Amino acid sequence: MKRQSGKMTFMSLIAIAILAIGGYMAFQYIGSNLEKKQIKKEVFDTLGSTRGGDRDDAALMAVIEEILLKRDNEILHIAARLEGGVIRYSFSYRMVTNFLFFKRDEVIEVTDQIENYG
């Protein structure tokens, strides 16, 4: 028994490999959820800082498109309308997360509104 102290066995090597792969998958899962929230917040903040009476629907859609392209996501749908004093916008995109052994393909849809000034 004294001879085996400090040596790695085959089962302990497999256990370490499983823990490492599980940690990587958990990191990717948490990262993808944070990225979804970050994109939604970034669109809301950017529209909030660029809103005004001189903006039209095409300019609002260009702002949303720029943010989605910066994150390398496939854009499925973008719509933005200025109705009275409210900007109503919606967009959807496809996000692919690589989990080492498989990829998760997810479609995210966001619908929101923000007050407009001007």
pLDDT digits (tens, 9 = 90+) for 56-109: 889 899 999 999 999 888 999 999 998 888 899 999 999 999 988 899 999 999
CA pair distance 86, 54, nearest whole angstrom: 14
pLDDT tens-place string over residues 25-66: 999 999 999 999 999 999 999 988 887 777 788 989 999 999
Tell me how far apart the alpha carbons of residues 21 and 16 are, in angstroms, rounded to a whole number: 9
